[in-house]
Structure formats: structure tokens, C-alpha cells
Structure 1
Amino acid sequence: MTPRENAMAVYNREQPDYYGDLMDAIVLLPDPVLMGDLPPQDGKIHPDSWGVPYEWKPGAPGPHPYITPENVVVKDIENWDRYVKVPSLENLDWGPAQKVAEGVDRKEKFVGIMFGGGLFERSHFLLGMENALMDYLEYPDEMKELLSVIKDYKIAYIRQMTEKVHPDIIFYHDDWGSKQNVFLPPTVWRDIIKPLQQEISDAIHDCGMIYMHHADCICQPLVTDMVDLGIDIWQGVIAQNDIVKIQQITEGKLAMVGGVDGPAIDIDGISEEAIRQEVRRAFDEYCPAGRFYPSIPNGVCFREWNNKIYRDELEKYGRRYAQEHPVT
């Protein structure tokens, strides 16, 4: 099987050659919005296309918003439209993405686009986390207006990326929680975010793409809603969720990627066997229900030796598990 065929076998509950990280079967394109918003790794503050200040410190794995009361974009949610300038999607340079896409054999692998800054994330990027959480509770109508504008931008971009490179999978990012719980009360999330997310999901599927939602956090209170939305794959499932219970309550309708407790094995002084044991645990606990791709939710161990052991066990045990547990 090709990596793509093997991934689809797991997705369709057919016999794969091996189990493992779905991301290994996807080639992510350097799309122009993502690359244009990527700040230099110089430790200085740089605004993204929405005007949100970002900082990428030398040695850090990635950039992060650096929001203060002085530089926050939206200073008053009741007058949000005075502050928000929606980025233009005209004249984007799709050349690099098209070149990569043309070099992918789509029988071998999927073509994907990483689509960051979902509705919730973009809202707290613009408002600051504390203000956003309060505004969701105190100003729901204004938040709906703001998120509706963000939603329209995202749908327009989804349609443009379809025209330019037609990805197989959209890797949509929106962390809805922490390692302890969801950020918003589920009733608030369902009232404000869910209807708009439904429009985004519909646009993804209308364009013929698989909707893979990244959220490496607790999403357990929202998983039946994720099924309602038509999310095809949840990538980033951390072990702090009760994954077995989620598989039961979603009745297998939500394929999942993750389960290996990355922070638990990405530490100094851990033994090789402890790393391998954690990888095997994820296979043994979550694969029996099907439609599960064991992996570290954020993709890698940042320590080179730890990652080497993790990847070795993922490959070896993934093949062994497939052989010893045939799909009937």
C-alpha cells in the first residue's frame, strides 16, 4: 500500500499494512497566507496580516502572539469594526504552493494545507485571551458579529485555495481548550462558534476536501458537536481526554490522530523502554475501536534522541499491531 492507501484503509476500517501517524501521509503546502504571516525568528515583534503582534524567539519551536494592553488590536469589543481590518486575499502568490503540489503523486500521499487561526484563536489573538473570554460571556452579539467576519474571510480563502491547488485535506487549527478543560462553557461555544463553524465545515466539504481539525487539548465536552459539524478527523487528541469513552460516545464517527502522551516522554533522563511502552500503550488502548492513528499530538519529541526512539517504536509496533490484529 502507498501511505495514502494505508491511511484510507485505517479510515475505512479496512486492513492496513501498519498503523501510525496520519501526518506521515500528508504533504503540507507552503500556502501564501501562512508563509506571509510567519515572522522572522529574531525575538522582535512583528504584526501579522490582521495586525496581531507576534514574537518568535531564537530557539523557540514557533512564533506566538505577544499581546499587551497597549498593542492589542481590538481595544473595545462594542466598536470592534473600528479596529479590525480584514486582510486582502487578492494578488496572493500561489506559485510556491503550486510547485510543491505539482510534485506530489496523489496516489502516494495527500496534499494538505495548514489553516491556522480558527474562529476562537483569531478572536483571542485580536482581543487578548482574558478580554476574549470575558467578551464571549458579556457581549455575545458583538462576538457573533466579529466571528462572522472572520468566518467569511476563511470561507473565501478555502474557495481560493481550492481553485489554486485543490488540497485533499484542510488541516484546520483551532484549539478549543487546555490540558484541563475547554476554554468556553459548552453552551456558549454552541451558541456563538458552532453555527459559524458549520458554515466553514460545509464550505470545506463543498470544495471536496477532507476536514481535519487540529486541537491538541481537551475537547471531550464537544466531541458529539464535532460529529454534528461533520469534522472528518480530529488531529491532536491528547491523552488527557478519555479517548476510549470518546470513541464510544461518538460511535466511531470521528476518526482521531494522537493518543501518545508527548510531554511524558519528551523529557531528559527517561529510559528507552519507557518511551516505547508509552507508544505501545496508545496502540493497545485506542486502536481496537478502529479509525485511530497513534502519534504524538504535536507531531514530534523536541529532544532528538527521544524522537528517534519514539519514531522507531511507532514504525515497528505499528506494523506488528496490524499483523497481530487483523481487521475482520
Structure 2
Amino acid sequence: MTSREIVKRNITFSDPPRIAIKFDVFGFNDCYDIWLKDCRGYTFETGGIDEWGCVWERSEVDNMGRITRYPLSDWSEFSAYQFPDPLSPAKYVQFAQDLAGAGDKFVMFCGGHGLFERFHLLRGFENALLDVYVEPEKTHELLDGLLDFHMRVITEVHRLGGGRLDAVAIADDWGTESATMISPEKFREFWKPRYAKLFKHIHDLGMHTWMHSCGKINDVVDDLIDAGLDVVNSQQPRTVGIDEFGRRFAGRICFETIVDTQTTYPHGTLDEIRDEARELVQKWNTPHGGFIASDYNDAAAIGTTIERRRAAFEAFAELAGIDPSLYPVPEGS
């Protein structure tokens, strides 16, 4: 069975032969990610001004950096604001070449920042949290613009992909250590209806829906499922609670997850990492599928090591019936 089919069967709970695995560092990945280019040539590595007008500054720490100017920090700038062109040829210049390398893997279009993250990257975080209370009409209007942008991009990548794309993934970190950043009530008022439209659009094009969301998002997972989310990527299983998350949501949504990136992955012993990997599969997987094990590619940002990543990979691989010795540690790692 191909990697593509294994991932699909995990997502749809259709009795896959094993869990799916995403560990690029050791040369084993059932999925294949495709990203578009920023129209202005911005990348996380270079910093500068992105296509949305956000000014990014790199720091001495190896991560995505921080924004030093928010293009819509004042609502007075909104009436003249120009969204990026979702159909700009510059965005798709490498798409065909990238897609050609997919082989028999499950192809994910990575749409980047979602409806919440892009909203606060434009407005500034504190402004964004206040907007749902003090500027609800403008909030609705801006979110509608973001939704339209995403839907037009997704329509175009589907057209260019000729049906080869299997899923659309977005990133919206909704959680703090203890709750969602915005109340579930405001989430349901402003974001859930738009997620439902976005996910329906993706499903209508024959693709699965996928969202990365860190933090304690437990209070809105039911809403995400109801809106049509197929896969949730949580990289902090201890924050959401391994027992609680499994008890409430296993079998209802497919999980992409990893040994906890705040605690176990950077600080645990190798045995603790292996034990947590096994516990996640035991409590979040089902007899009919629903589990995708992944790595954290930006290892330096969370302070983990190649040895810890290896321990996690070996544990997941063995549970999948894969011989990890066939996928050795790369030289120089």
C-alpha cells in the first residue's frame, strides 16, 4: 500500500495497515508538503516585508522572527489596504516543479497562517483580542477578506495540481497553556462559520482539511470537528492532556502529533520519549486508524537533539511495523 493510501485511510478511519509517519530527518515521510512563494520574495530566513505588508525582523535565535510593523495596527488604514493578489504568478512559480517530486506520497498544500494568525499578524496581537469586542463589524469584514483570499488560493492550487493534492493545511495557534486565547463564544461567532465555509470548499474540491494548533484547544475541538476539520496537529500533547484528548476525541478526528515539544522532547530522557510515543499511539489511535506521528523539523528552536528525535522515530516506527535501522541517522547530524 502506498504512503498516500496509508495517510488517507488514517484520516478516514478506513483500517490502514499502520500509523502514518512524518520524519524527514531520517528519510521517512508518508507526506509531501508543498508551499507557495511570497509575492515579494520574503522568507523566514531573510526577514523583511512580506506580501501582506508585515515588517519582519530576524533575531539571534533561529526561528521565524517577529513583526516590527503591523500594516493594520490602526483601523484607519483598512479602507486603503490592498490584499495580496491570490493569483499572482509569482506565488506559483515553483509549484509544478515541487509537485513533480511527490511520488506516491500524500500531498499536502501548506497554506501557512490561517484565519486567526493572519488576523493578528495584520492587526497586532493585543488589538486582535480586543477587536472582537470593540470593533466587531470591522473584524467580520477583515476575516471575510482573509477567507476569500484563502479560498481563491486553494481553488488555484487545486486547478494547477490536476487533482493530485490530497489536503490543505493551515496554521492557527489557538491555545495558551490553560485555555483558548479567545473565548469559545467569540470563536464560534467570528471564526467557526468561516472555518466551516473554508473546509466545505476544500472538501468540495476533493481534499482533506488539516490544521496545526498548539496550546490547550480542548474547548473548541468539538467546534472544529463540527466545522469539518479532518486532522488536527497538536505538538503539545501534555498541554491538552493525553488522557483527556484521547478520551474525548479519538475516533472523531485524526491526530497528527509528536512527543511534547515543550517538555518531553527537549528535556526528557530517551526512555521517557519512547514511553510517551507509545502512550500517544495507545490512547489517541484507534483500531481503525486516526494517527499520524511527526517530528519537529526546527529542532534548534525547541532545544531538542538528534538523539531524542531518533528515540521518538524508533518508537513510532516499531509500532508501525517498520524497521528503523533501514532509515539511519544522516551523517553530520
| TM-score using structure 1 length | 0.84
Match of 1:119 among 106, 115, 120: 115
Aligned-pair distance for 1:243? 4.9
| Correspondence 1:155 to 2:151 | yes
Q: Secondary structure at the match of 2:5?
A: helix
CA RMSD of aligned residues (A): 2.6
Aligned-pair distance for 1:265? 2.6
- 1:173-322 to structure 2, matched below 5 A, reads 173-236=171-234, 238-239=236-237, 240-250=239-249, 252-258=251-257, 260-267=259-266, 270-288=268-286, 290-293=288-291, 295=293, 298=296, 301=299, 302-319=304-321
CA distance in 2, matches of 1:259, 1:93: 30
Q: Secondary structure at the match of 2:262?
A: helix
The answer to which of 270-279 and 122-131 deviates more is 270-279
The aligned residue for residue 331 of structure 2 is: none
Q: Secondary structure at the match of 1:114?
A: strand
CA distance in 1, matches of 2:235, 2:31: 18
Q: State, as a whole percentage, how many aligned pairs show the same letter.
A: 21
Per-residue CA deviations over 1:141-192 (Å, capped at 9, x if unaligned) read: 1111111111111111111111112421111111122232111011111111
CA distance in 2, matches of 1:137, 1:15: 45
Code of the residue aligned with 1:284 in structure 2: it is: Q
Unaligned runs of 5+ in 2: 24-28, 323-333
Unaligned runs of 5+ in 1: 321-328
CA distance in 2, matches of 1:50, 1:142: 18
Per-residue CA deviations over 1:216-265 (Å, capped at 9, x if unaligned) read: 22221111111111111112253121455445545733111115323223
Code of the residue aligned with 2:2 in structure 1: it is: T
Match of 2:33 among 3, 24, 28: 28
Per-residue CA deviations over 1:244-287 (Å, capped at 9, x if unaligned) read: 5445545733111115323223335x432222112112122222
CA distance in 2, matches of 1:297, 1:215: 15
Q: Secondary structure at the match of 1:87?
A: coil
CA distance in 2, matches of 1:34, 1:2: 34
Relative to structure 1, is the Cα distance of residues 35 and 242 closer, same or farther in structure 2, using a 3 angstrom cutoff?
farther
Is this contact kept in 2: 1:7–1:22, CA < 8 A? no
The aligned residue for residue 323 of structure 1 is: none
| Correspondence 1:53 to 2:51 | no
Relative to structure 1, is the Cα distance of residues 216 and 226 closer, same or farther in structure 2, using a 3 angstrom cutoff?
same
Relative to structure 1, is the Cα distance of residues 35 and 271 closer, same or farther in structure 2, using a 3 angstrom cutoff?
farther
Match of 1:84 among 81, 85, 97: 81
Code of the residue aligned with 1:278 in structure 2: it is: E
| Correspondence 1:129 to 2:125 | yes
Q: Secondary structure at the match of 2:56?
A: strand
Is this contact kept in 2: 1:236–1:296, CA < 8 A? no
CA distance in 2, matches of 1:153, 1:188: 22
Is this contact kept in 2: 1:259–1:286, CA < 8 A? no
Q: Secondary structure at the match of 1:27?
A: strand
Code of the residue aligned with 1:304 in structure 2: it is: I
The answer to which of 227-236 and 240-249 deviates more is 240-249
| TM-score using structure 2 length | 0.83
Is this contact kept in 2: 1:262–1:296, CA < 8 A? no
Aligned-pair distance for 1:28? 0.9
Q: Secondary structure at the match of 1:37?
A: coil
The aligned residue for residue 140 of structure 1 is: 136
Code of the residue aligned with 1:215 in structure 2: it is: S
Q: Secondary structure at the match of 1:21?
A: strand
Per-residue CA deviations over 1:274-316 (Å, capped at 9, x if unaligned) read: 2211211212222247543253574575422211222122211
Code of the residue aligned with 2:189 in structure 1: it is: D
Code of the residue aligned with 2:256 in structure 1: it is: V
CA distance in 1, matches of 2:297, 2:40: 20
CA distance in 2, matches of 1:36, 1:291: 40
The aligned residue for residue 99 of structure 2 is: 101
Q: Secondary structure at the match of 2:178?
A: coil
Q: Secondary structure at the match of 1:319?
A: coil
Code of the residue aligned with 2:100 in structure 1: it is: E
CA distance in 2, matches of 1:275, 1:185: 33
Is this contact kept in 2: 1:216–1:297, CA < 8 A? no
Q: Secondary structure at the match of 2:315?
A: helix
